[in-house]
């Protein structure tokens, strides 16, 4: 308790302001060339064909064909309700070889879709010269997802498309939180131990404390989610107001925990959200999977949260918003120094996307 009181009473050193622009493209070590691309073909947005939702629909079609011939080896639960764990177990269990064969068929077909979508993205100007693509989102955090990535990489190689594919290094639930540490000013990093971050998706919301751990790695490659809360809001069907109230409650819980543990929490909330983010922090498009109207001109999530959390540890709260795929990709920044152009695809409820170019300074640090 004495240690906590001492920290609360110690004046904080002046902190350099954070970037004032939401959805910033020009960052200290990297340029965001593009994100939230919405490419169309005759069937609609091509990214929708490589989302986790699309995989579940594809698997359900395979199961419907099997049901016409006999019993479905995956049971009576709809594919969208099957957990990733259940699918992984069916994939490797000798007792369910029929289920494994059916799953493998769906995996192969979905891998072809993913490879085709990647090839289309690589034709876009903002993806020109991309050498490596990291796959994030909830889908890769499973054996099924890993097989899809490996097979899609093999298909691209067969197509003579020169690009590397790999899974995100962090836990799938952590990337959209950890990426925010790379958007902090040096002064804020210097005087604080951790930040608060939100990752808002079409199915889940994640709220966590991200510890910088700069003494272990000055490039923030060792940043870690210290504590995380996850809410599957899709099950509850909340209104926009209820969701925002819950976000504030989750943040307040993390603040109380930080105070109890003596963590020097920065007066900052990073908000990762689907869609195209305007400079003023409003959402231009792409938030259709979130409850309510998030693209209204009268709605501004960063301001709403700052009203509920005006200060953190006695300092005025700053909330910044960026696209969720951009933030998840930034969590990989320390591991992308050996390439010039790279990108991220996040396979979740939808398919998020972002592409980057490392600055000369970032590449020089790698060579040094």
pLDDT recorded at residue 2: 38
Q: What is the mean pLDDT of the chain?
A: 88
Determine which of 39-43, 115-119, 256-260 has the lowest per-residue pLDDT on average. 39-43
Which single residue is written with the structure tokens 């990108």? Answer: 343
Distance CA 177, CA 183 (A): 11
Q: Give per-residue pLDDT as tens, 48-58.
A: 889 999 999 99
Q: Give per-residue pLDDT as tens, 352-365.
A: 999 999 987 554 45
pLDDT recorded at residue 96: 66
Residue 313: how many CB atoms within 10 A of its CB?
A: 17
Q: Give per-residue pLDDT as tens, 66-117.
A: 998 888 999 889 999 999 999 999 988 756 688 899 999 999 999 999 999 9
pLDDT recorded at residue 141: 84
Residue 85: how many CB atoms within 10 A of its CB?
A: 10
Distance CA 305, CA 7 (A): 25
Burial (CB count <10 Å: 0-12, 13-18, 19+), residue 90? buried
pLDDT recorded at residue 8: 39
**Nearest of 279, 276, 297, 278 to residue 287 by alpha carbon:** 276
pLDDT recorded at residue 155: 97
Question: The dihedral of CA 284, 274, 47, 66: what is its sign?
Answer: negative
Question: In 3-state terms, the chain is what percent helix, strand and coil (to 5)?
Answer: 40, 20, 35
pLDDT category, 21, cuts 50, 70, 90? Answer: confident
Query: What's the whole-number mean pLDDT along residues 111-138?
Result: 95
pLDDT category, 4, cuts 50, 70, 90? Answer: very low
pLDDT at residue 281 above 70? yes
pLDDT at residue 17 above 60? no
pLDDT recorded at residue 297: 82
Q: Give per-residue pLDDT as tens, 289-339.
A: 888 899 988 899 999 999 999 999 999 999 999 999 999 999 999 999 999
The DSSP element (H or E) to which 224 belongs, if any, is: strand 224-231
Percent of the chain with pLDDT over 90: 69
Higher pLDDT, 6 or 194: 194
Cβ atoms 75, 60 nearer than 8 A: no
Joined together, the tokens standing for residue 256 give: 């109380």
Secondary structure, 3-state, 66-125: HHCCCCCCCCCCCHHHCCHHHHHHHHHCHHHHHHHHHHHHHHHHHHHHHHHHHHHHCCCH
β-sheet bridge partners, residue 133: 165, 343
Q: What domains does the chain contain, in order, with CATH numbers?
A: 40-167 (no CATH), 173-329 (3.30.420.40)
Higher pLDDT, 360 or 176: 176
Query: What's the whole-number mean pLDDT along residues 25-31?
Result: 89
pLDDT at residue 188 above 90? no
What is the secondary structure of 193-213 as a DSSP string? Answer: SEEEEEEE-SS-EEEEEEE--
pLDDT at residue 9 above 50? no
pLDDT at residue 246 above 70? yes
């Amino acid at each position: 308790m004495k240690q906590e009181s001492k920290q609360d009473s110690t004046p904080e050193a002046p902190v350099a302001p954070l970037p004032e622009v939401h959805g910033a493209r020009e960052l200290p070590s990297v340029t965001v060339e593009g994100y939230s691309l919405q490419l169309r073909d005759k069937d609609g947005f091509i990214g929708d064909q490589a989302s986790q939702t699309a995989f579940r629909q594809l698997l359900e079609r395979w199961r419907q064909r099997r049901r016409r011939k006999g019993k479905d080896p995956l049971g009576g639960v709809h594919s969208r309700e099957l957990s990733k764990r259940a699918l992984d177990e069916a994939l490797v269990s000798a007792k369910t070889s029929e289920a494994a064969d059916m799953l493998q068929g769906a995996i192969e077909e979905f891998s072809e879709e993913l490879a085709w979508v990647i090839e289309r993205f690589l034709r876009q100007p903002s993806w020109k010269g991309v050498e490596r693509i990291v796959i994030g989102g909830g889908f890769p955090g499973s054996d099924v997802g890993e097989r899809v990535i490996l097979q899609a990489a093999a298909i691209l190689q067969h197509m003579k498309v020169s690009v590397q594919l790999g899974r995100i290094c962090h836990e799938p639930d952590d990337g959209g939180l950890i990426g925010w540490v790379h958007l902090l000013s040096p002064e804020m990093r210097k005087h604080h131990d951790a930040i608060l971050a939100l990752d808002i998706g079409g199915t889940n919301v994640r709220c966590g404390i991200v510890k910088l751990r700069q003494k272990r790695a000055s490039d923030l490659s060792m940043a870690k989610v210290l504590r995380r809360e996850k809410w599957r809001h899709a099950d509850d069907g909340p209104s926009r107001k209820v969701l925002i109230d819950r976000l504030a409650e989750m943040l307040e819980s993390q603040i109380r925990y930080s105070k109890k543990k003596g963590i020097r929490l920065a007066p900052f909330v990073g908000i990762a959200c689907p869609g195209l983010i305007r400079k003023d922090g409003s959402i231009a498009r792409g938030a259709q999977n979130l409850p309510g109207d998030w693209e209204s001109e009268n709605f501004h999530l960063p301001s709403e949260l700052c009203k509920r959390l005006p200060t953190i540890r006695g300092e005025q709260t700053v909330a910044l918003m960026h696209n969720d795929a951009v933030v998840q990709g930034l969590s990989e920044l320390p591991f992308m120094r050996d390439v010039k152009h790279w990108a991220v695809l996040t396979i979740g409820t939808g398919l998020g996307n972002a592409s980057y170019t490392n600055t000369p300074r970032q590449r020089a640090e790698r060579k040094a």
